Amino acid sequence: MNQSAIFAIFEAADTQSASFAERLLAQGIASRADARPFAMEWAAKKYRETLKQGQRGATFARRGTAAEQAVTRVLQVCFPSADKPTKPRKASGKTDKVSKLFEQWQALSAAEKRRFTTLQLKAD
């Protein structure tokens, strides 16, 4: 196997999507969302599928068709999802259940702790 030839193919594929995005930007299409209606119309004509207007916009009348796959494939080539900035994940507001219970236990008075302990012993 020729590693340099393989890397050259990867390099061409990497720069190719940038050139598609630049060409679309010259036509006034700056994002995947802007390009989607045009890609759907193109795929509908190419694969002879019908578009219908749904609640959230245009969709294909039949699901899982070659036209739907072509839209996904074309948009992925023009606007790779790997180039999208990732959203920072929010730290979960969840606390450790054991530490929360321990804090509640510490907040109890001595009488409440005795009462709780006797109730636990009776339950066993």
pTM exceeds cut of 0.85: no
- On the question of pLDDT at 124 being above 80, the answer is no
Tens digit of pLDDT for each residue in 5-28?
777 777 777 677 778 888 888 888
Local structure of residue 54 (DSSP, 8 states): E
Q: What three-state secondary structure class fits 62? A: coil
> What pLDDT is recorded for position 92?
66
Please give the mean pLDDT across all residues of the chain: 82
Sequence-distant (≥ 6) Cβ neighbours of residue 93 within 8 angstroms? none
Tens digit of pLDDT for each residue in 25-66?
888 888 888 888 888 889 888 888 888 888 888 888 888 888
The encoded tokens of residue 31 equal 């994002």
- On the question of pLDDT at 120 being above 80, the answer is no
